[in-house]
């Protein structure tokens, strides 16, 4: 591992811990030349499925799209970055765990909505309004009333 400060390739591991529910290893390292410390993360390389879009196109799985959608929905909400990152990890794990070579984008969207619903209802409604392409206020109110009904 190259030191990000001096680019030396001689570093040592000071500490290793499990991270993100055991799916990653967090390592604290120290450069043997400049003595700077830094953190690295190690995870198993997963085989991601191809995503089948609504119009039938196929594209490579992109975890950054999931992260961006979740972060956009959670913008200005009282949810920690750590909780948002954990949700992203859970969604990705659920997709990979299916073991499929191709997956409809609708399944990914439903996984995100399920996680957002549990994490923050306002973020859930934000995401659902874009994902489900609400046509008017009636669609929006219908989703809100179903959310309120499930709550009571």
pLDDT in tens, 48-107: 899 999 999 999 999 999 999 999 999 999 999 999 999 999 999 899 889 899 999 999
Over residues 34-58, the mean pLDDT reads 90
Supply the pTM of this predicted model.
Answer: 0.65
Domain boundaries, the chain: 11-43, 50-151
Please say whether the beta carbons of 124 and 87 come within 8 A: no
Convert the pLDDT of each residue in 60-77 to its tens digit.
999 999 999 999 999 999
Structure tokens at 26: 């967090």
DSSP calls for 90-113: HHHHHHHHT--SEEEHHHHHHHHH
Q: Can you state the angle between helices 81-97 and 105-119, rounded to 10 degrees?
A: 140
CA proximity to 66, closest of 20, 13, 113 = 113
Confidence of residue 123 (pLDDT cuts 50, 70, 90): very high
Per-residue pLDDT, averaged over 127-140, amounts to 78
Calculate what percentage of the chain has a pLDDT beyond 70.
Answer: 97
């Amino acid at each position: 591992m190259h030191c990000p400060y001096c680019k030396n390739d001689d570093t040592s591991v000071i500490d290793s811990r499990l991270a993100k529910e055991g799916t990653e290893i967090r390592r604290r390292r120290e450069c043997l030349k400049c003595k700077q410390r830094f953190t690295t993360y190690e995870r198993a390389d997963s085989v991601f499925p191809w995503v089948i879009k609504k119009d039938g196109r196929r594209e490579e799985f992109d975890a950054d799209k999931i992260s961006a959608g979740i972060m956009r929905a959670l913008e200005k909400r009282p949810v920690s970055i750590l909780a948002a990152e954990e949700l992203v990890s859970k969604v990705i794990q659920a997709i990979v765990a299916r073991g499929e070579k191709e997956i409809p984008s609708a399944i990914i969207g439903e996984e995100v909505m399920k996680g957002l619903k549990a994490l923050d209802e306002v973020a859930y409604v934000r995401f659902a309004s874009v994902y489900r392409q609400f046509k008017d206020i009636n669609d929006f109110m219908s989703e809100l009333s179903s959310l309120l009904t499930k709550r009571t």
